[in-house]
Chains A and B, each alone.
Chain A
Amino acid sequence: MSKSQKFTILSLLTIVALILNLSLGSVEIPFWDSFKSLLGTPLENKSLEYILWSYRFPKAITAQFIGASLALSGLLMQTLFRNPLAGPFVLGISSGASLGVALLIMGASLFGISHVSTLVTTLGASIGSLLVLSLVGTIALRVKDSMSLLIIGIMFGSITAAVVSVLSFLSSKEELQQFIYWSLGNLGAVDSTALSILVGISILSFIVGLTLIKPLNALLLGESNARNLGVSVKNSRILIIVITGLLTGSSTTIVGPIAFLGLAIPHLCRLWFNTVDHKILYPASLISGALFMLICDTISQLPYSSTVLPINAITSIIGAPIVIWLLIRKKKMQF
């Protein structure tokens, strides 16, 4: 199968997954009705149309952009750090977001505030992730090799995790519950402002990120070789970190720290396309990330029931066995 055929299959699958995602849920909307509505024909049943356009469609868009963002962040981190275990979380950005939210939710009672709104958690997470991002960015200017940066990122993560533990130990049952709800991830809680910020930041990053394809390929030869090929390793590294920070930050802010996807999707793409060339992996990760997140969201909303499972758990439950199976079958990881 040629690479363009594989891309066609991925795109078709994403469209099918989108329509399925719109159709299935606590209320079933017939497959063809969702399809027609997507193409612009108004539905006869106004309440279905309302569900479709004001709840499920924004949720499906959120899922796709978050999937694509996290997958791309994972790809960038793995190439920059030359480490197959790197993901969008290694820089400590999502821990920063967690800390921001934890401080707001669990620290609020100290100021006599009993309930914290979604908008405020979003704000807390953004400030937290931006703070860690700028710290890591400043350090990236001073530290010479990427391996030290990776370790510094992990250290940041463990410091913030420790502070979060202390806060959770001291906080009340209700606050703890609210924090855990946030951290489990919820695609449905996105309002239109947050969604447009996510979409804006993602599209901008995807476009600017295109200029990284050539430096990323050169980095496959190692940093000194990349430099000898005329690539400014320092500038590329900063741009990679800023883009990852923005993508991870905006996703985490909205839906909590969604684990796993950013680590696994780039590996799945390498295995399926049998290449390490970023000209292929860049678009492949974006589409596969969106597709994977749509499928996970469809499953998490448990068709025909009113329960919604945490999306964060579903991504790992479904994704991890796929990666394990692919590695056992192919016997060798493309890294």
Chain B
Amino acid sequence: MKLENLHIGYNNNIVVRNLNLEFKLGHLHTIVGINGIGKSTLIKTICGELQSIEGSISIEGEFIKNISYKELAKQISVVHTSREENKFLSVYELVQMGRYPYLNWIGKLTENDKQIIDEALALFEITEFKNQKCFELSDGQYQKVLIARAFAQNTPYIILDEPSTHLDLHHKINLFKILSNLAHNYQKCIVLSTHEIERAIELSDQILVLLKDEHYFDTPQSLIDKEVFQRIFPSEMVNFNPHSKSFVSNDIYP
């Protein structure tokens, strides 16, 4: 997926300028940056919900704005944080919806579809919950169900908007492991936005750091070498330690 000369934002109010980069299959890409810097705007633009102001996004040479909803649904699956889903769906019903782009008008599942759904349930270790309603699950389990749904959609690209938001530390680490597995063993192109910068440094192949008026896209190590992470947050509050690869808060009230 290529982003070329891409300017994004709302109503001609440009948030991020001049993005030129490529998200590759088999790689885990993370987008980080302070709140309001444009992470969600970028995610929405990539998945076709928002028009770009200038420039283009293309998949294998084809501009996504020229691809119909139906075809795009076979290329890109999206996991939102909005939590708008109806919680009375059972786990199986929700995961099964990942097959919608491939099903006929009434939504009849073929044997092949059922196999893919079972594989998704097994991969994310949620088979035992498959008949439970979503409101009965914990946030960690529910997040897995949402990603299993995207996996069942069987698209080369999986985009996730802040998937770690509602999770505790254990589930956050588990989430990154799952995503890294999807990228490296299933040859998916994963793009996610997150505030878990330390986890991102540990497990992503490339990180896109959005700063005010500029951005960097590189491997975690070279971003550390370029001292980019120090500039994400106002330095009087938080500092980045390149040796421990972690953030430390400054004692602002001595």
User: Which positions in A face B, CB cutoff 8 Å?
Assistant: 82, 210-211, 213-214, 217-218, 220-225, 227-232, 270, 275-277, 279, 334-335
Residues of B within 8 A of A230 (CB): 69-74, 100-101
Known contacts A220-B85, A220-B86, A225 near B80 by CB under 8 Å: yes
Closest beta carbon of chain A to B223's beta carbon, Å: 30
Closest beta carbon of chain B to A5's beta carbon, Å: 18
Q: Does residue B113 face the partner (Cβ distance < 8 Å to A)? A: no
Please name 10 further chain A to chain B contacts, defined as beta carbons within 8 Å, in addition to the given A222-B84, A225-B85, A279-B106, sorted by A numbering.
A210-B106, A214-B100, A217-B97, A218-B97, A221-B85, A221-B94, A222-B82, A224-B49, A228-B77, A276-B89
Known contacts A214-B107, A225-B78, A231 near B84 by CB under 8 Å: no
A229 near B82: Cβ-Cβ < 8 Å = no
A196 to B133, CA, bound (A): 43
Residues of B within 8 A of A220 (CB): 85-86, 89
Residues of B within 8 A of A222 (CB): 80, 82, 84-85
Residues of B within 8 A of A227 (CB): 49, 69
Residues of A within 8 A of B71 (CB): 230
A276 to B93, CA, bound (A): 10
Q: Does residue B153 face the partner (Cβ distance < 8 Å to A)? A: yes
Which B80-126 residues have a C-beta within 8 angstroms of A? 80, 82, 84-86, 88-90, 93-94, 97-98, 100-101, 103, 105-107
Residues of A within 8 A of B69 (CB): 227, 230-232
Residues of A within 8 A of B89 (CB): 220-221, 276-277
Closest beta carbon of chain B to A121's beta carbon, Å: 39
What is the chain A residue whose CB lies nearest that of B71?
Answer: A230
Residues of A within 8 A of B98 (CB): 229
Closest 5 CB pairs of A and B: A222-B84, A230-B73, A220-B86, A230-B101, A230-B70
Listed A/B pairs (16) with beta-carbon separation below 8 Å: A82-B84, A217-B97, A221-B84, A221-B85, A221-B86, A221-B94, A222-B82, A222-B85, A225-B84, A228-B47, A228-B77, A228-B78, A229-B153, A230-B70, A230-B100, A231-B100
A211 near B100: Cβ-Cβ < 8 Å = no
Q: Does residue B191 face the partner (Cβ distance < 8 Å to A)? A: no
Residues of A within 8 A of B77 (CB): 228
A217 to B94, CA, bound (A): 10
- Among A210, A220, A229, A334, which residue has the most Cβ atoms of chain B within 10 A? A229
B74 near A228: Cβ-Cβ < 8 Å = no
From A82, A223, A228, contact of B73 by CB (8 A): A228
Residues of B within 8 A of A217 (CB): 93, 97, 107
Known contacts A230-B72, A231-B69, A279-B107, A218 near B82 by CB under 8 Å: no
Residues of A within 8 A of B94 (CB): 221
Q: Does residue B76 face the partner (Cβ distance < 8 Å to A)? A: yes
Residues of A within 8 A of B73 (CB): 228-230
What is the chain A residue whose CB lies nearest that of B135?
Answer: A332
Closest beta carbon of chain A to B44's beta carbon, Å: 8
A228 to B103, CA, bound (A): 14
From A224, A229, A277, A334, contact of B100 by CB (8 A): A229
Known contacts A214-B107, A227-B49, A221 near B78 by CB under 8 Å: no
Which B36-94 residues have a C-beta within 8 angstroms of A? 47, 49, 69-74, 76-78, 80, 82, 84-86, 88-90, 93-94
B76 near A221: Cβ-Cβ < 8 Å = no
Residues of B within 8 A of A335 (CB): 86, 88
Residues of A within 8 A of B86 (CB): 82, 220-221, 276, 335
Closest beta carbon of chain A to B103's beta carbon, Å: 7
Known contacts A229-B97, A276-B89, A213 near B82 by CB under 8 Å: no
B88 near A224: Cβ-Cβ < 8 Å = no
A218 to B107, CA, bound (A): 10
A318 to B13, CA, bound (A): 56
Residues of B within 8 A of A214 (CB): 100, 103, 105-107
What is the chain A residue whose CB lies nearest that of B155?
Answer: A228
Closest beta carbon of chain B to A2's beta carbon, Å: 14
B84 near A213: Cβ-Cβ < 8 Å = no
A210 to B77, CA, bound (A): 26
- Among A211, A277, A279, which residue has the most Cβ atoms of chain B within 10 A? A277
Residues of A within 8 A of B90 (CB): 275
Closest beta carbon of chain B to A12's beta carbon, Å: 26
A210 to B107, CA, bound (A): 11
B97 near A334: Cβ-Cβ < 8 Å = no
Closest beta carbon of chain A to B247's beta carbon, Å: 32
Closest beta carbon of chain A to B109's beta carbon, Å: 11
Residues of B within 8 A of A276 (CB): 86, 88-89, 93
A230 to B93, CA, bound (A): 17
Closest beta carbon of chain B to A277's beta carbon, Å: 6
Closest beta carbon of chain A to B69's beta carbon, Å: 5
A210 to B69, CA, bound (A): 21
What is the chain A residue whose CB lies nearest that of B161?
Answer: A224
